[in-house]
Structure 1
Amino acid sequence: MAKAPTPRCIIVRHGQTEWSKSGQYTGLTDLPLTEYGVGQMKRTGESIFRNKFIDPNQITYIFTSPRIRAKKTVELILENLTEEQRTNIRVVVDEDLREWEYGDYEGLLTEQIVQLRKSRNLDQNRPWNIWRDGCENGETTEQIGLRLSRVIGRIQNLHRKHQEEGIASDIMVFAHGHALRYFAGLWLRMGEEKQCDGQEPQPPTYQDDTVPFISLKSYRHLVDNPSFLLDAGGIGVLSYAHHNIDEPALALAGAFVCPPEEESQHGSTAK
């Protein structure tokens, strides 16, 4: 019997909002999708399932940010599935997937942030780098790194369980521009490692008894730009090399996989 395909983590940035269009930093501000953004995600959902880039029957979980723009994107993507297919996918709203908390920089453009920091006599020796320096009265890179490391721990634990059970498992993650690029960097073990107490946040960041909380002994945080791009509505694919959950990898082919005619080193498929 052929093994189940290698598990994947499919990251989806929410569709266009007025601020993603203008380039304004949008953290906790709860903006809706634009009319274009709604159509954008409807077309995306139709395309990925019609062209079999993603098999809806292999989606086990969807994790989403609590922001309206992310949850609406989930809804629009799933519109293209049957009621039975939607019922078989558990949707978990996870506060840990919220966008970077920008603090004083909320709603500003990058050039405005640079000028604001200059007026406060910051960055005299080197330019501002959010991935290293974080945001005034917002989150540090260590804080966002810790919470995204928790999400990755939960997802990789589910993937390990599904792989042991022989279950095909695509887990989709719907969130935001900075958060998802940061997430991808951590998936690839970029940045620096720090020890942590492993204690669960109070209150918990999600409510789903089928998703075990993973107590982390350490977490990673970035110290520089991971140099990834992900436009509004964009999709990326993370997976594992050699069918091994301990070897997280970037799937350079994205969601598109040409059906192989023989077994691949990255996972087996039936002939």
Structure 2
Amino acid sequence: MENDTSTNVLQDPENGGRRRWLKAGVSVATLVAGTQFAAGNSQAAALTESQRNALTPDHIIEMMKAGNERFRAGKMKQQDYLAQKRASAAGQYPAAIILSCIDSRAPAEIILDMGIGDTFNARVAGNIANQDILGSMEFACAVAGAKVILVMGHTACGAIKGAIDNVQLGNLTSLLQEIQPAVEATTYSGARTSKNEEFVDAVARSNVVHAISVIRTGSPILADLENKGQIKIAGSMYDIRNGKVTFL
């Protein structure tokens, strides 16, 4: 796989094409424009610790936005998964952890154009933040050094519809109850039914906000890291129709 030095302004042609992530005088705009989560050779295929540590939470979020724009434009990077696998085998330094839904139409790594080793990924129906998810996030950020927690909801979410309809089905019942606060908190003047797509999507957005609140109140560890500016907790919505990720 070939490096695209025309789009990666942080590559160092005098050092075998290896990337420079953050140098004195390099602007945030230049960093975001030129940096990709994965480079084109096995040596730089996965994030190193120093590369990840050079990024701020805001840089990482801008890189996510840029990746989604590539996805929408059909100009995604050529991912060399074997190179990424080799580069990350000895250790992983993901920049973020993403909490998203299990919906088959909303795979976070693909719609943000990322590769192996770039992010931790937690998926559960309705992107709820329960105790197990909080523990996973604490590992990702407090132990492994990830700098962004991104909660990603999506349009036309079946779990949201189930919560609106108060579905009762085995273990799913208690999961959908975790979404009920978002249903109740959603201000909406139209039909509050699962057949109303606009209401479903409004609840999905409320559910992202609710999950973020649960993260902050349920994990003093993560709240402290955010208060210190070491991490950022952000929310987003993915539109399954047009492929756009909107950050809330």
What TM-score do you get using the length of structure 1 for normalisation?
0.24
Instruction: Answer 1 or 2: which has greater helix percent.
Output: 2
- Larger RCO, structures 1/2 (Cα 8 Å, 6+ apart): 1
